[in-house]
Chains A and B, each alone.
Chain A
Amino acid sequence: MTYLYIGKKRRTKEDPRFVMGRGRYVADVALPGMKHVALVASPHPSARIASIRTEAALAHAGVHCVLTGEEFCANTDSLQIGVDAPEVTRWALAHGVVRYAGEWVAAVVADTRALAEDAAELVEVEYDPLPYVIDPEASLEPGAVLVHPAHGSNVLYHRKFVWGPVEEAFEKAEHRIAFRAVWGRNATVPIETFGVAAQWDAGTQMLDIWASIQMPKFPDQTARALRLPGNAVRVHYDVDVGGSYGVKRGIKHTVLVGYLAKRLGMPVRLIEDRLENMRGGDMHGPDRFFDMQVAFDGDGTIRGLKIRAVDDVGAYAGRSPLQLAKPVTAICGPYRIPAVEYEPTSVMTNKTPQEAVRGFGQSPTNFAMERAIDRVARHLGMDRIALRTKNLIRKDEFPYTIPSGSTYDSGDYHAVVDKALAAIDYPALVRERDAARRAGGLAGIGISTCLEPSGGNSAFEVLFNPKNETTTWMDSCLVRVDLSGAVTGVMNTSSSGQGHETLVATVVGEVLERDPAAIRVVRADSLTALPSNSPVGSRMAIMLGGAAAGAAKKIKAALLAIAAHNFECSVEDLEYANGDVSLKGAPEKKLSWGQLVTIAHRNIHKMPPGMEPGLQEKFVWDVPTGGDLPTPEGRIQIYPCYAFEAHVVYVEIDRDTGKPSIRRYVCGHDCGVMINPDIVHGMTYGGIAHGIGAALYEKFAYSEDGQLESGTFMDYLIPSAFEVPELKIVDHCTPSPLTTFGQKGSGEAGYLGAPAAIANAVNDALEPLGVSIDRLPMSHAAIWERIATAHDTGSPTNEAGKR
């Protein structure tokens, strides 16, 4: 299939305004008379609030309000939560007790942010410290301190799924291994913290909201928590979002600011500072360990898998427990594994709450899985690539249904692996590594072959919460051709860097054969919008792309119908080219784009009877393959499409300090048809950089006394241009049979396989020493400690390799 615009290297629609400094972020929204919020945060991981004295703060110049949980919680409702745990309530401000260090206790509203901070220091909170629990394993023990005593346990969710004959596989297999893999708490940490501005109009009784969001059901949740009808909250989606990849949920911030704006009758804005964001912004990602067991035969055939995953969601839950559920959709990775046991446990501790992060729990799972594959190869003395090649699902086996019930749409994993290995010149790379080792160095090659499930729907909600029957997860687009013949696409959510305006313009241009550069894309607000579930779960190329194409096809059909009516022929006799319609075989019988548009808007006497005047069409649809409830065993089709990535990375480690350096990096990638390759590559580069962070640097670390130790960019280490090497991406294209153009989602690319590949590379480097490391991030000190262990035990290979 050849396309006019899809897949072509074309300028994006969004970038010019960003490059010119013309983006409009929440911080650019200046409402007349707007007031500013600063927050008072708990220094204790767990305490009873004995008293809050606000007099001194209220008396400070420029201060309008000091709000505490007592008033706020009485007048708003608790936020929604993804699993069935009604006693785990959560508001933006603590009431009675605090459950993590950094939790917001009071909000101060003042004329400027600086004044608000000055006054926040004057709020006197008296705490009675309470016992707390920081370690997730300790939190699971009987008698552990309860984070929410009313819930009766620290476990938010637990179930053991058994899909296929797992015990039989483990009994009959020739070999078994078991190990623990630990994923560090990291997040995407965008440059822009969360921000929201709100304005209550007493005349219209309506709350207007501008927010830095990437959040499904955001207007609805805001209205519910504020006890307002849905049509009293208008969320403006034409706000640029300065980065998210999952974390920009901001529901608690918005309910707080919406409440303040209404209560004070003044526009109010909260833009978190970095300290508020890192400690109290509730944006930490999965914090997880895996107890992995694999059963396999001597020839490398993997027969079964047991995964116990414990995820520490912190002190409250939003959608975070569901990050253990999404991996069910690709629980055996890209491999043929007939029997899988999965035992997810979501546990609470006195830490900052977890929120959605890029991949929604898939990257940690991929990391554990790929460490397992490498460990199987090592156990058997088998080549890691040969082991993967043997177990990867073959091209001719698609569509392929995995034990947990999802069917993978398409793929050619072997071709992608081959391309990646060719791109890095694998035999030469092995020679380079071996030469480095002979020279006394520690050097390793890492490989990972991982899936990127895409087309986000709500299937994991119903899987993890039997009381939830949400099977609809639609998206939509409206396309309009105005009187001048110009085309406008209307999308119904905000974007956080995914390039949706380019997506819509490209797809509509493709269908209508009109230049995407001339197509404008705008955003409705939440009261004028068609239904959308926001850009989560790598869904928009599929869902918004499909909706835009669907609406454009209806426009095209309308144009053809108008022409058929005027030529008194059937639509089949017509030819459509670049917006003009002519009679087949008689090109002089033609109605141009301009003429057809004029008829639609001005000449109802030339319109087919019954046809709506004007030229606009909407398209609303649900995620392909979605809509089912799980079977009693917990089998369900979750996401529809499955992209694939194969990473090959070469790492050298300074033997004396443990410092790793990534020397070479190739990522083979197949996400089907790319609508705009630059956007896909850009997201993949960023995803790999974030994956390097997760593997080597980034961690929200907690001290034993419950304090966040990495609450600034001095200690939360995001890799910079110095740490990210040149990245080479090699594309492959296996179209999806389920989508409009064969596209798959790809918003989480790179991050889903990079940590696994880097962990495998570091372990390959350590292998001659006979030691391994399965805990991320692998800091210099942690790697060195493993090396030192080998020195202490005097491994012979180590002695031989010494400088």
Chain B
Amino acid sequence: MKAPPFEYARATSLAEACELLRRYGDEAKLIAGGQSLVPMMAMRLLRPAWLIDINEIAALKFVAVESEVVRTGACARQAVLERDATIGVRMPLLKQALAWVGHVQTRNRGTAGGSLAHADPSAELPLVAQVLGAGMLLRSAKGARKIAAEEFFTGPMSTAMAPDECLEEVHWPLWQERRTGSEFTELSARHGDFAMVSAAAQIALDSEGRCVRAALGLGGVGITPLAFPGLTARLVGTRLGENDFEQLAREAAAQCDPGSDLHASAAYRRHVAGVLAARALRAAHGRAESVQ
């Protein structure tokens, strides 16, 4: 379990990282926390000729809570986001999801940007990005562009980033409604394992208890994390009850296309997707209701 030979470059600025990417493109991999990349290299499943280390780039490690959006640098550690008090209050879904990402030890090193760029369809942070419609600011030597999560995730371990591009910032939209509740839940064999299925929901209510906005997503049951804007749009303007959660969850689960593996069959995953979707909606709604 030793990585095949590779060249290593430590970038001290984003510009330098982009220049290295321009030069080596397909041959290169960025390394931040390395929590997925290093094991894959050790098992020789990935063989980058160049490893470009972005851990020294201070400008990629910020967390900024603004009025409409939480902006996080691509190299901000998962543990930093998890412990950020403002994120905990303003964007509880992100904090809830982070508790499921690996273990405390891996979160101390792993970065949110790394998890998104890795794009594992069962990973937690890509699901949150998909559900909230996060924006991805991409940078290359040629310039910057911003794309939405739904365009960013293109398949298992694959994104819309070009070989010479890197993730610079993530823009996590803040919902302005005061009565907003969220929930992240998942089923894995053991705590900290890859999710067999994960579910994220966020619901906002008006003062009368009517739904003004709702979002639902499921992870581990398709080639990318899935969001269901068409289904959740139907909830707007209504008072939600148990039947709505069950109905919506059933329909969302029916749209999933999970695979089978050693730990769970496709049928089991689809069943659990419905169970967790209903639980996430129910809990998110309960939290929104509890805000007076």
A779 close to B1 (CB less than 8 A): no
A273 close to B1 (CB less than 8 A): yes
Q: Does B142 contact A (CB under 8 A)?
A: no
Closest to B265 in A: A781
Set of chain B residues within 8 Å of A780, measured between Cβ atoms: 187, 189, 196, 263-264
Nearest-Cβ distance from residue B123 to partner chain A, whole angstroms: 13
The 8 Å CB contact of A781, one of B4, B5, B263, is B263
A275 close to B1 (CB less than 8 A): yes
Set of chain A residues within 8 Å of B2, measured between Cβ atoms: 113-114, 117, 273
Q: Does A785 contact B (CB under 8 A)?
A: yes
The 8 Å CB contact of A722, one of B4, B192, B275, is B192
Q: How does the 8 Å CB contact mask read for B193-210 relative to A, with 1 for contact and 0 for none?
A: 110100000000000000
Q: Does A231 contact B (CB under 8 A)?
A: no
The 8 Å CB contact of B262, one of A275, A657, A701, A788, is A701
Q: How does the 8 Å CB contact mask read for A14-33 relative to B, with 1 for contact and 0 for none?
A: 00000000000000000000
A787 to B153, CA, bound (A): 36
Set of chain A residues within 8 Å of B4, measured between Cβ atoms: 117-118, 121
Q: Does B8 contact A (CB under 8 A)?
A: no
A784 close to B268 (CB less than 8 A): yes
Q: Does A717 contact B (CB under 8 A)?
A: yes
Q: Does A520 contact B (CB under 8 A)?
A: no
Q: How does the 8 Å CB contact mask read for B161-201 relative to A, with 1 for contact and 0 for none?
A: 00000000000000000000000000101111110100000
B191 close to A784 (CB less than 8 A): no
Q: Does A614 contact B (CB under 8 A)?
A: no
Q: Does A697 contact B (CB under 8 A)?
A: yes
A656 close to B190 (CB less than 8 A): no
Q: Tally B residues with Cβ within 8 Å of A.
A: 24
Within 8 A of A (CB), among B44-97: 44
Set of chain B residues within 8 Å of A719, measured between Cβ atoms: 190
A158 to B196, CA, bound (A): 41
Q: Does B43 contact A (CB under 8 A)?
A: yes
Set of chain A residues within 8 Å of B287, measured between Cβ atoms: none
B262 close to A723 (CB less than 8 A): no
Nearest-Cβ distance from residue B208 to partner chain A, whole angstroms: 28
Interface size class of A (residues with CB under 8 A): 20 to 34
Q: Does B272 contact A (CB under 8 A)?
A: yes
Set of chain B residues within 8 Å of A781, measured between Cβ atoms: 263-265, 268
A720 close to B268 (CB less than 8 A): no
The 8 Å CB contact of A714, one of B194, B265, B275, B276, is B194
Q: Does A728 contact B (CB under 8 A)?
A: no
Q: How does the 8 Å CB contact mask read for B262-289 relative to A, with 1 for contact and 0 for none?
A: 1111001001100110000000000000
B193 close to A717 (CB less than 8 A): yes
Q: Does A565 contact B (CB under 8 A)?
A: no
B191 close to A710 (CB less than 8 A): no
Set of chain B residues within 8 Å of A124, measured between Cβ atoms: none
A779 close to B275 (CB less than 8 A): no
Set of chain A residues within 8 Å of B262, measured between Cβ atoms: 701, 709-710, 715
B192 close to A720 (CB less than 8 A): yes
Within 8 A of A (CB), among B216-269: 262-265, 268
B187 close to A657 (CB less than 8 A): yes
Q: Does A601 contact B (CB under 8 A)?
A: no
Q: How does the 8 Å CB contact mask read for A403-429 relative to B, with 1 for contact and 0 for none?
A: 000000000000000000000000000
A720 close to B1 (CB less than 8 A): no
A710 to B264, CA, bound (A): 13
Set of chain B residues within 8 Å of A720, measured between Cβ atoms: 190-192
A657 to B195, CA, bound (A): 13
Nearest-Cβ distance from residue A405 to partner chain B, whole angstroms: 42
Most buried by B among A117, A701, A712: A117
Nearest-Cβ distance from residue B6 to partner chain A, whole angstroms: 11
From known contacts A701-B262, A710-B262, A781-B268, infer whether A118 and B189 are also in contact, taking CB-CB under 8 Å.
no
A720 to B188, CA, bound (A): 13
Within 8 A of B (CB), among A469-499: none
Q: Does A90 contact B (CB under 8 A)?
A: no
Set of chain B residues within 8 Å of A722, measured between Cβ atoms: 190-192
Set of chain A residues within 8 Å of B275, measured between Cβ atoms: 656-657
From known contacts A779-B263, A780-B187, infer whether A118 and B5 are also in contact, taking CB-CB under 8 Å.
yes
A780 to B189, CA, bound (A): 7
Set of chain B residues within 8 Å of A659, measured between Cβ atoms: 187
A656 to B1, CA, bound (A): 39
Closest to A276 in B: B1
A719 to B189, CA, bound (A): 9
Q: How does the 8 Å CB contact mask read for A765-801 relative to B, with 1 for contact and 0 for none?
A: 0000000000000011100110010000000000000
The binding surface of chain B is classed by DSSP as loop
Q: How does the 8 Å CB contact mask read for A696-732 relative to B, with 1 for contact and 0 for none?
A: 0100010000000110101101011011000000000
Closest to A274 in B: B1
A710 to B261, CA, bound (A): 11
A709 to B262, CA, bound (A): 7
B43 close to A275 (CB less than 8 A): yes
Set of chain B residues within 8 Å of A785, measured between Cβ atoms: 268
A715 close to B263 (CB less than 8 A): yes
Nearest-Cβ distance from residue B184 to partner chain A, whole angstroms: 16
The 8 Å CB contact of B189, one of A114, A274, A697, A701, is A697
Set of chain A residues within 8 Å of B264, measured between Cβ atoms: 780-781
Set of chain A residues within 8 Å of B3, measured between Cβ atoms: 114
Most buried by A among B4, B43, B193, B262: B262
Q: How does the 8 Å CB contact mask read for B5-16 relative to A, with 1 for contact and 0 for none?
A: 100000000000
A723 close to B190 (CB less than 8 A): yes
Set of chain B residues within 8 Å of A114, measured between Cβ atoms: 2-3, 5
Nearest-Cβ distance from residue A787 to partner chain B, whole angstroms: 11
Set of chain B residues within 8 Å of A714, measured between Cβ atoms: 193-194
Closest to A720 in B: B190
A717 to B264, CA, bound (A): 14
Closest to B274 in A: A656
Closest to B275 in A: A656
A723 to B188, CA, bound (A): 12
A697 to B276, CA, bound (A): 22
Nearest-Cβ distance from residue A193 to partner chain B, whole angstroms: 10
A266 to B272, CA, bound (A): 57
Closest to A788 in B: B271
Closest to A656 in B: B275
A697 close to B271 (CB less than 8 A): no
Set of chain A residues within 8 Å of B272, measured between Cβ atoms: 656-657
Q: How does the 8 Å CB contact mask read for A647-671 relative to B, with 1 for contact and 0 for none?
A: 0000000001101000000000000
A644 to B85, CA, bound (A): 52
Closest to B5 in A: A118
A719 to B187, CA, bound (A): 15
Nearest-Cβ distance from residue A274 to partner chain B, whole angstroms: 6
Closest to B262 in A: A709
A717 close to B1 (CB less than 8 A): no
Nearest-Cβ distance from residue B30 to partner chain A, whole angstroms: 22
Set of chain A residues within 8 Å of B1, measured between Cβ atoms: 117, 273-275
B190 close to A717 (CB less than 8 A): yes
Set of chain B residues within 8 Å of A779, measured between Cβ atoms: 189, 263
Set of chain A residues within 8 Å of B263, measured between Cβ atoms: 715, 779-781
A697 to B190, CA, bound (A): 8
A659 to B190, CA, bound (A): 10
Nearest-Cβ distance from residue A768 to partner chain B, whole angstroms: 20
A701 to B262, CA, bound (A): 8
A701 to B264, CA, bound (A): 13
Most buried by A among B2, B191, B194, B275: B2
Closest to B191 in A: A722
User: 9 shortest A-B CB distances, which residue pairs?
Assistant: A722-B191, A114-B2, A273-B1, A656-B275, A781-B268, A709-B262, A117-B2, A781-B264, A717-B189
| 18 more CB-based (< 8 A) A-B contacts, given A656-B272, A657-B187, A714-B193 | A114-B3, A114-B5, A121-B44, A657-B272, A657-B275, A697-B190, A714-B194, A720-B192, A722-B190, A722-B191, A723-B191, A779-B189, A780-B196, A780-B263, A781-B263, A781-B268, A784-B268, A788-B271
Residue contacts A-B, CB under 8 angstroms, 9 given: A113-B2, A121-B44, A275-B1, A656-B275, A714-B193, A715-B262, A719-B190, A720-B191, A779-B263
